[in-house]
């Protein structure tokens, strides 16, 4: 574990320094439930952030904690997710009567929960590093924030890019607040994961448009550089 460092994202989609996602010594019990099950058994404060399951729990817990504090500062009350559910393939929960799909993560406003295909996210984690978890989960929680703020959008791409911006702002807030540590190598991971999640075309008016790889990197960078209020 290296000393905490400042991660700088520029709009040209290049990270000037690098960060990794390990709990800070100031927050040694980052996961709220030290008995949460993982592939290798039960998590403990000393092992948080060392496995996929621990990083997932850490990303969810710290991101929600960040938004709770941000809402409180603004004189509002953040409503935590009712559940955070892993699924496999076709066996995910439905959302308002719509079935979940494989290889996806989503926020469902009907029930106020986040669900994710565990095998899919785990494969991204293995291939692209822990940055996968720290992009996807804060993005989905960003949608939960939009729902609580009753944000309105004329195009889906606007909703998705703002969630990327929120994810970048939340991550930077956690680093600045000493909740996450900075190490070498994860700059490439963040950019690779954002690029992998981008649309193959720039057809921005599609109902499922999320933004091109460059757009997603840029909006994540905007939040990271300027904070969530700039989103």
Please tell me which residue, 34 or 102, carries the higher pLDDT value: 102
Write the DSSP assignment of 13-34 as a string of letters: TEESS-----B-GGGTT-SS-T
Centroid of chain to Cα 213 = 16
What is the structure's pLDDT at 197?
A: 77
Query: Given a cut of 90, is residue 145 above it in pLDDT?
Result: yes
What is the structure's pLDDT at 15?
A: 37
What is the structure's pLDDT at 41?
A: 32
Arithmetic mean of pLDDT over the chain: 78
Q: Mean pLDDT throughout 68-74?
A: 97
What is the structure's pLDDT at 7?
A: 34
Query: Given a cut of 80, is residue 103 above it in pLDDT?
Result: yes
What is the structure's pLDDT at 77?
A: 96
Three-class SS of residue 10?
strand
What is the structure's pLDDT at 183?
A: 66
What is the structure's pLDDT at 1?
A: 17
pLDDT in tens, 112-128: 999 999 999 999 999 98
Nearest to residue 138, comparing CAs of 176, 184, 173?
A: 173
Confidence of residue 3 (pLDDT cuts 50, 70, 90): very low
Query: Given a cut of 80, is residue 73 above it in pLDDT?
Result: yes
- Token pair, residue 108, equals 């469902």
Q: Where are the domains of the chain?
A: 31-230
Kindly report the pTM of this predicted structure: 0.80
Q: What is the spatial distance between Cα 116 and Cα 103, in angstroms, rounded to a whole number?
A: 8
Query: Given a cut of 90, is residue 61 above it in pLDDT?
Result: yes
The CA–CA distances, whole Å, from 94 to 109, 171, 187, 210 equal: 11, 29, 34, 21
What is the structure's pLDDT at 198?
A: 72
Query: Given a cut of 50, is residue 8 above it in pLDDT?
Result: no
- Enumerate residues 6+ apart whose C-beta is below 8 A from 15: 7, 8, 9, 187, 188, 190, 191
Q: Mean pLDDT throughout 75-88?
A: 96
Q: Name the least confident of 43-52, 159-168, 176-185.
A: 43-52
- Beta-carbon-side half-sphere exposure of residue 86 (alpha carbons within 13 Å): 13
For the four alpha carbons of 197, 38, 21 and 114, in that order, the dihedral sign comes to positive
For the four alpha carbons of 55, 61, 65 and 67, in that order, the dihedral sign comes to positive
Nearest to residue 107, comparing CAs of 51, 147, 150?
A: 147
What is the structure's pLDDT at 14?
A: 33
Confidence of residue 24 (pLDDT cuts 50, 70, 90): very low
In the chain, alpha helices (H): 52-73, 118-128, 131-149, 156-176, 186-196, 213-226
What is the structure's pLDDT at 47?
A: 32
Q: Name the least confident of 46-55, 65-74, 216-225.
A: 46-55
């Amino acid at each position: 574990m290296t000393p905490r460092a400042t991660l700088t994202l520029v709009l040209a989609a290049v990270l000037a320094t690098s960060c990794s996602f390990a709990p800070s010594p100031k927050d040694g019990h980052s996961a709220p439930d030290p008995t949460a099950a993982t592939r290798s058994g039960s998590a403990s404060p000393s092992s948080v952030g060392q496995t996929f399951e621990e990083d997932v729990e850490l990303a969810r817990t710290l991101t929600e904690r960040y938004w709770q504090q941000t809402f409180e500062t603004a004189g509002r009350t953040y409503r935590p997710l009712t559940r955070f559910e892993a699924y496999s393939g076709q066996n995910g929960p439905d959302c308002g009567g719509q079935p979940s799909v494989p290889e996806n993560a989503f926020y469902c406003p009907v029930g106020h929960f986040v669900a994710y295909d565990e095998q899919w996210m785990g494969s991204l984690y293995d291939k692209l590093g822990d940055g996968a978890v720290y992009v996807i989960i804060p993005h989905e929680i960003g949608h939960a924030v939009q729902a609580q703020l009753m944000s309105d959008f004329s195009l889906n791409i606007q909703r998705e890019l703002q969630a990327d911006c929120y994810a970048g702002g939340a991550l930077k807030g956690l680093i600045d607040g000493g909740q996450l540590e900075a190490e070498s190598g994860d700059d490439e991971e963040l950019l690779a994961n954002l690029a992998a999640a981008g649309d193959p075309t720039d057809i921005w008016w599609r109902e499922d448009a999320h933004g091109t790889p460059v757009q997603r990197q840029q909006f994540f960078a905007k939040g990271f550089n300027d904070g969530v209020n700039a989103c």
